[in-house]
């Protein structure tokens, strides 16, 4: 079937299935032989993403790339849409022979349509109100208990850094403590222990952070 296929492309055929299997059914992987644009697909996995099979021609986008003739830099991590409106996260890698002549494309098209919907849903679920300061929240008409307000302020401050605590550096955790200190959070009984628990450090570490912050004032 691949008798006349360039050896480099032939050796890359197992990669197609391997990449697709690793990332699941929404990940289409396509290997093109550019010598025959009208029947360029020599291997494809999860072809249902764009409804293509082996032997199909290169897409209009691929033909445009061939026409452009600029293959110095791979095109990584860009967006494109299918004819039915689904969003694909795409990568096109240029395959060359030992003389630097283009012989093929290895393309990855990941259907992120469902993930985009999920992202928007999660953003709506985890969004929180912005509390200006601790005193205003404590004395608001809602009459929240002090500990409830403490939890909200700490959660809002940590969420504002845009990453889970597990991925925060020491400097970022110090910044969290600094913001909480400026809001008077540590005047509340039990705040030290609560913040230490949220930041996954000891209460003594929080004391050390506060010493660093207050020494700079």
pTM over 0.85: no
Domains of the chain by start residue, with CATH: 7-117 (3.30.450.20), 128-216 (no CATH)
pLDDT digits (tens, 9 = 90+) for 101-145: 999 999 999 999 888 777 777 777 776 665 444 444 444 434 356
Contact call for residues 195 and 177 (beta carbons, < 8 A): yes
Ranges of residues in the chain whose predicted pLDDT is under 50: 1, 131-143
Task: Using alpha carbons only, give the angle 25, 28, 34 rounded to the nearest 5 degrees.
Answer: 160
Model pLDDT, residue 142: 43
Model pLDDT, residue 134: 45
Q: Cα separation of 43 and 74, whole Å?
A: 20
Model pLDDT, residue 55: 95
Q: How far is CA 189 from CA 47, 128, 209, in A?
A: 60, 24, 18
Model pLDDT, residue 10: 95
């Amino acid at each position: 079937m691949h008798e006349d296929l360039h050896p480099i492309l032939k050796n890359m055929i197992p990669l197609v299935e391997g990449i697709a299997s690793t990332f699941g059914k929404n990940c289409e992987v396509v290997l093109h032989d550019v010598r025959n644009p009208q029947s360029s697909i020599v291997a494809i996995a999860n072809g249902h993403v764009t409804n293509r099979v082996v032997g199909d021609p290169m897409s209009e986008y691929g033909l445009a790339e061939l026409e452009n003739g600029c293959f110095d830099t791979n095109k990584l991590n860009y967006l494109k849409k299918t004819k039915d409106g689904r969003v694909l996260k795409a990568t096109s890698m240029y395959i060359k022979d030992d003389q630097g002549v283009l012989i093929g494309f290895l393309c990855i098209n990941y259907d992120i349509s469902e993930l985009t919907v999920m992202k928007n849903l999660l953003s709506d679920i985890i969004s929180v109100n912005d509390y200006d300061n601790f005193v205003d929240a404590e004395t608001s008409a809602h009459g929240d208990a002090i500990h409830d307000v403490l939890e909200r302020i700490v959660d809002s401050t940590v969420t504002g850094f845009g990453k889970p605590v597990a991925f925060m550096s020491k400097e970022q955790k110090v910044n969290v403590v600094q913001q909480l200190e400026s809001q008077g959070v540590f005047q509340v009984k039990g705040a030290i222990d609560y913040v230490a628990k949220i930041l996954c450090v000891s209460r003594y570490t929080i004391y050390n952070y506060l010493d660093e912050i207050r020494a700079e004032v």
